[in-house]
Amino acid sequence: MKKIYLLLAAIILTVNFSFAQSGWVDYKIDNRVSAKLPTAPKDLLPGTVMSLSADSTVCIVTKVDFKAAAGLDSAALAPMLDQKEFADGLRNGIEGQMKDFTLSEVKTGTMQGWHTFSLDGVSESKKLKSYTYMIVIGQYMYSFTALVKDGRDTKHKDELFGSIKVK
């Protein structure tokens, strides 16, 4: 009897594991950062790709070069990262691109010693929630956004954010 229970437990774990990983592909942004996306990414703009999950969660990955965009190399950028004005500037920039969204304040943190920034948003008119997680490494910012329809769970957002790897 114990063998049957162990076999059933093993089958359930195997099914759950394979379901969680089903269809997700590795996406290498550059030699430093990678993540898993629900499908092969499609180019949106230079430095930005998009992937759509089976439940219509939109995953967007963007790499920003602060030196090219604003003339800030890593030495110039480093002292700014701890300032509230920098986080507010990120929020204002995102708000300008996502006009229908009401955004939260930016939460700051670290990942492997690198500065991170995250914020959420809601669009009542589009019935969407947005979740954005950003990592600044040197002169580059890597941004991961998940757009989730109201009423859907956030498992694909969680899978995207949980799959981020920094070397």
| Residue 141: closest CA among 130, 149, 133, 131 | 133
Tell me the pLDDT tens digit for each residue of 67-99: 999 999 999 999 999 999 999 999 999 999 999
Task: Identify the pLDDT of residue 23.
Answer: 77
Classify 65 as helix, strand or coil. Answer: strand
Tell me the pLDDT tens digit for each residue of 53-70: 988 999 999 999 999 999
Sketch the domain layout of the chain as residue ranges: 24-166
* Average pLDDT in the chain: 88
Pick the CATH number of 24-166 from 3.40.1000.10, 3.40.30.10, 1.20.1090.10, 3.40.50.170: 3.40.1000.10
Tell me the pLDDT tens digit for each residue of 92-118: 999 999 999 999 999 999 999 999 999
- pTM for the model: 0.85
Q: Measured at the alpha carbon of residue 95, what is the angle toward residues 93 and 101, in degrees to the nearest 5?
A: 160
Tell me the pLDDT tens digit for each residue of 22-58: 679 999 999 999 999 999 999 999 999 999 998 899 9
CA pair distance 21, 40, nearest whole angstrom: 14
Long-range contacts at 140-143 (CB < 8 A, ≥ 24 apart): 140/30, 140/32, 140/63, 140/64, 140/65, 140/66, 141/63, 141/64, 141/66, 142/29, 142/33, 142/61, 142/62, 142/63, 142/64, 143/60, 143/61, 143/62, 143/63, 143/64
Mean of pLDDT values over 121-130: 96
